[in-house]
Chains A and B, each alone.
Chain A
Amino acid sequence: GAVVSQHPSWVICKSGTSVKIECRSLDFQATTMFWYRQFPKQSLMLMATSNEGSKATYEQGVEKDKFLINHASLTLSTLTVTSAHPEDSSFYICSARDPGGWDTEAFFGQGTRLTVV
Chain B
Amino acid sequence: DQQVKQNSPSLSVQEGRISILNCDYTNSMFDYFLWYKKYPAEGPTFLISISSIKDKNEDGRFTVFLNKSAKHLSLHIVPSQPGDSAVYFCAANKGGGADGLTFGKGTHLIIQP
B102, A97: Cβ atoms under 8 Å? no
Contact indicator A111/B32 (Cβ below 8 Å) = no
Interface presence of B60 (CB below 8 A): no
Task: Name the interface size band of chain B.
Answer: 20 to 34
Beta-carbon contacts under 8 Å, A18-47 to B: 32, 34, 36, 41-46
Contact B106 A43 (CB under 8 A): yes
Chain A, interface residues (CB within 8 Å), range: 20 to 34
Could you say which of B11-19, B68-76, B77-85, B89-97 contacts chain A? B89-97
Is A93's beta carbon under 8 Å from chain B?
Answer: yes
Task: Determine the distance from Cα of A110 to Cα of B38 in the docked complex, in whole angstroms.
Answer: 10
Using known A-B contacts A103-B97, A104-B32, determine if residue A43 contacts B104 with beta carbons closer than 8 Å: yes
Judge if B22 is at the interface, Cβ distance under 8 Å. Answer: no
B100 CB contact (under 8 Å) in A6, A10, A36, A42: A36
Q: Which residues of B contact A107 (CB under 8 A)?
A: 46
Q: How far is the CA of A99 from the CA of B36 in the complex (A)?
A: 19
Q: Out of B43, B98, B106, which one reaches A93, CB within 8 Å?
A: B43
Closest B residue to A50 by CB, please name it. Answer: B100
* A residues in contact (CB < 8 Å) with B: 1, 4, 6, 9-10, 32, 34, 36, 41-46, 49, 59, 91, 93, 95, 97, 103-111, 113
Q: Which residues of B are in contact with A by a Cβ distance under 8 Å?
A: 2, 4, 32, 34, 36, 41-46, 49, 51, 89, 93, 96-106
